Amino acid sequence: MTQRTDSLANMRLGPYLLAEVIGRGGAAAVYRAHQVSLGRDVAIKVLHRSADPQFAARFAREARAIAQLQHPNILPVYDFGEEGEVQYLVMRYVEGERTLRDLLASGPLEPAQALRLIARLLDALHYAHGRGIVHRDIKPGNVLLPEPDWPLLADFGIARFGGEASQLTMTGQTIGTPDYIAPEQATGQPAAPRGVDVGAGGMPYELSLLTI
């Protein structure tokens, strides 16, 4: 029997007991879950097997690539697995799922806080670029905040991973969020890592406008 990703609450995936949905995308849902073996909460991104095979291939590659990133400002990946009709990616759970978007909506920031956020995000991007990974969807909603000035870059679902990405991303296809993409992305053309992750420049601009 086919199961939808939004109907898995209270079910088990391996050692993980799924709770409520905390995020949703076109082909996947993110759940808060409990890892019974270690007694901790985690976030699990679940992709339904009925999704396009290209999505499934990208999902597995996302897990392998991001698991190699060991940076204090990149959301860590703990595990990847398949069970029945679903694939799942296990990540750190951030209590409250507060994002930079929420912070920007809450009012002006102290200039020092804005600078710390910018510096840490840029350092995380520089680290990822140095390992051949281009995020391609830098925006406030993809930055989690476990602490007010400690960002965690998340959601590498449409990232480009080194030379392999060209096999799974078609030229002419627009990738990313319109308000934060580079001109090259808007026209579906290839771009260098620094150009593609231009959203990292848009967010500092937003932060600067919202400082006290």
Q: Residue 133 to residues 78, 84, 151, 158, 160: CA-CA distances in angstroms?
A: 18, 30, 18, 11, 6
Q: Are 34 and 17 in contact (CB under 8 A)?
A: yes
Which two three-digit tokens encode residue 60?
Answer: 């597995």
Does the active-site annotation cover 197? no
Q: Which of 137, 149, 179, 197 is catalytic?
A: 137
Can you tell me the distance from the alpha carbon of 202 to that of 191, in angstroms, rounded to the nearest whole number?
17
Residues annotated catalytic, as ranges:
137
